[in-house]
Amino acid sequence: YQRRVRGGLVDSPLPSSPLWLPMAEAAPRNLHMPATDAHLSIRILEDATEKFELLEAMQSLQDHSSTDELSQRIGDEISAVIQEQKDMQQKYADLVIQRASLTGYSNVDKLQATEKQIQEVARGLHRKSKQLSRTLISNPNIAENLLKIQKERALLQRIFTITISELRSHPHNFQTLEQTVIADRTDREDFEELKSKEKQSREELATLKKNLENEHRQHQLDVNERNEMTMKLKVDLHDLRNKSQMETTYLTKETGARLNSIDRAYQQSIKDLNASIQLMEQKIARERRVCEGNAFFLKKKAKELGEMGTQWQDHYEDCLLYTSPSPRDS
């Protein structure tokens, strides 16, 4: 017995029946059947075997050309979907690389546009994956499935043949069929457990993908925030540099003007002092000339007074000489 799972036929346990269900509840037991029931079971199994042989004969007469053509068409359709998915994956990788290269405040608009394109491509990839999954599920590999059905039918015929032999022998038991049913039940339980684990793995994978997307989104927000902060700091630094340069230029010009003013004041003071010195030197020269003239005049007057004193002395003596009586007259 077969059933469709994800694009093909997989093993499935034999369907439960009133005959097999009690035997599958526990380990194999050496059960015996009455001869009448054994004969009835043999007739049922022989009828099923004849029907299997009829199905095998009908399959051998079937024309496989239509099956091959259908398989080829389905294969081409699946290949086209896979190629489109590969192209979108390559586009997604290129957009991710482009997003990593868009850094800086000037590329914010391009970064947002790239993010939108990445989201659209991701949604397209998700749609293509669903389309591929549906295509594989709805279009199984027909040739392989027919071969598998043929093998399973041959195995079931062999089990029925062995069971018929066991029922005809004494005691009438069906140990091979019982073991097969128990093994199939174990396989079904293992398959159900595998499906449960696969479902749990898919859920965990979806959760991890969602967490990864959240982390990536948060990382992108942090990167954008840091880029904005960096650009703000750059703008502040640029403004501070301009302000510092303007203040430096202003202070330089102000200091130069102050120094020029002080220098002009000093030059004026030096000029005034030089004029005062020159005026004082002129006064000193004039006073020196006046002093020299006075000295010359005083020396001249002193000489004249000396000469006049000498003359008056001589005149006095002459007067005394003329006025004094002579001894002869006394």
Q: Is the dihedral of CA 118, 119, 122, 123 positive or negative?
A: negative
Q: What are the backbone dihedrals phi and psi of residue 3, each rounded to the nearest 5 degrees, phi first? A: -150, 155
**Which three-class secondary structure string do you get for 118-161?**
HHHHHHHHHHHHHHHHHHHHHCCCHHHHHHHHHHHHHHHHHHHH
Of 328 and 41, the structure prediction assigns the larger pLDDT to 41
Residue 280 pLDDT > 90, yes or no?
Answer: yes
Verify cis geometry, omega within 30 degrees of 0, for the bond prior to 140: no
For the chain, what percent of residues have pLDDT higher than 70? 77
Q: Give the per-residue pLDDT at 259.
A: 92
pLDDT in tens, 85-113: 778 878 877 887 777 777 766 777 787 88
How many of the other CB atoms lie within 10 Å of CB of 4? 13
> Residue 16's pLDDT is what?
37
Most confident option among 87-96, 130-139, 237-246: 237-246
Map residue 11 onto helix, strand or coil.
strand
Window from 6-15, 60-69, 219-228, 319-328 with minimum mean pLDDT? 6-15
- For residue range 182-216, list pLDDT tens digits in order: 888 998 899 899 989 988 998 998 899 889 888 98
pTM of the complete model: 0.37
